[in-house]
Amino acid sequence: MDDAALSALLHDRVGQLAGVWGVLALTADGMALACAGIGADDARDLSALGAAQGAVARQLIARSEAGRLTTSLLLGENGCVVLTRSSANTFLVAFAYRECAAGNIGEQLAALSDEVGARLEARVGSHLPAPVSRGTEWTTASENMQATGRPHR
């Protein structure tokens, strides 16, 4: 899947996620694949999302430098929810929500990662696992199996 196709897919799917007001997707080299805003105050919202993404990207870089392969869901102070994959080929998707209390946030992110994950795996050699739930961190598949007794999807 090329950049344009992935961007179009994210634009379409993000529009279906309840409470989302912006999304920014980046590859490991920092190239923006998608930047979508929803609502009248998109410019202000996307600016805030960009700032939040920058803060989380610094955490992601630190994780990468530490050499630990992880996938994490982080909840920022400003309500930004970020799904990250830290590896040689890093993919970062940042979701910002007007209201953090959306009860089905984990289910929505899991559905999106299920759909997009295979395409990302083919493109950058990494996979976004599902299901995803708030405050959960995944390690490698073997570590996950040891810790939970369940296979890593």
pTM: 0.34
**Taking 50 as the threshold, does the pLDDT of residue 147 lie above it?**
no
Give mean pLDDT, residues 114-143.
Answer: 44
Classify residue 107: in a domain, yes or no.
yes
pLDDT of residue 149: 45
- CATH number of the domain at 61, please: 3.30.450.30
Provide the number of structural domains found in the chain: 1
Classify residue 94: in a domain, yes or no.
yes
Classify residue 81: in a domain, yes or no.
yes
- 94-116 pLDDT, tens per residue? 444 444 334 455 555 556 656 66
Q: Is 42 or 61 the better-scoring residue by pLDDT?
A: 61
Burial class (CB in 10 A: 0-12, 13-18, 19+), 62: exposed
- CA-nearest of 101, 106, 103 to 83 is 106
User: What range does the domain containing 43 cover?
Assistant: 3-148
- 1-52 pLDDT, tens per residue? 555 565 566 556 655 554 444 444 444 444 444 444 434 444 455 555 555 5
Secondary structure of the chain as H, E, C letters: CCHHHHHHHHHHHHCCCCCEEEEEEECCCCCEEEEEECCCCHHHHHHHHHHHHHHHHHHHHHHHHHCCCEEEEEECCCCEEEEEEECCCCEEEEEEECCCCCCCHHHHHHHHHHHHHHHHHHHHCCCCCCCCCCCCEECCHHHHHHHHCCCCC
In the block, residue with structure tokens 């899991």: 110
Classify residue 153: in a domain, yes or no.
no
